Amino acid sequence: MRCPYCENDDTKVIDSRHTEEGHAIRRRRECEKCGKRFTTYEKVEEILLVVIKKDGSRQAFDKNKILSGIVKACEKRPVSYADMERVADEIERGLNNMMEKEIQSSFIGELVMDKLKDLDEVAYVRFASVYRQFTDVSTFISEIEKMLGDRKSTRLNSRQMRRSKA
């Protein structure tokens, strides 16, 4: 690693630690020539994801855009920032695991809504209202009724499974 101060190629590692939940290594280095210390980070090079927007344009994937949308949806809700970051990280990791280079923005939006439904139902409805461009109150009501129906069927399935085990 080249020293950022004197451009010398001879540096030594003084200390190494895992960071970012083990996804990177932080290294403290010292230059053999000038003696100054600096920090480097080593992480796996990820595939550059390209998002295909509704209008057909393409742009680089940015996890911060997902996080921003989640933060707006969760505003004034009892959801910790750590949970919001965890959801954004899970979505990014899932997209990377797909090994696709191009992903439709609609697919990403659906992933966000699925995660928000489990995290906070009010945040889910807020996000869905913007994402799906709700135009009137009846659209809100039908989305909430659908969500309540899903919840009811989940409870019924749980009861049936418990009865069959008994």
Does position 166 have pLDDT exceeding 60, yes or no? no
Does position 161 have pLDDT exceeding 60, yes or no? no
Rounded distance between C-alpha atoms, residue 137 and residue 126, angstroms = 13
- Identify the residue with better confidence: 71 or 136: 71
- Identify the residue with better confidence: 21 or 142: 142
Residue 61 in tokens: 């994937």
Number of neighbouring beta carbons within 10 Å of residue 100: 13
Residue 144 in tokens: 């909430």
Does position 133 have pLDDT exceeding 80, yes or no? no
Give me the chain's average pLDDT, please: 87
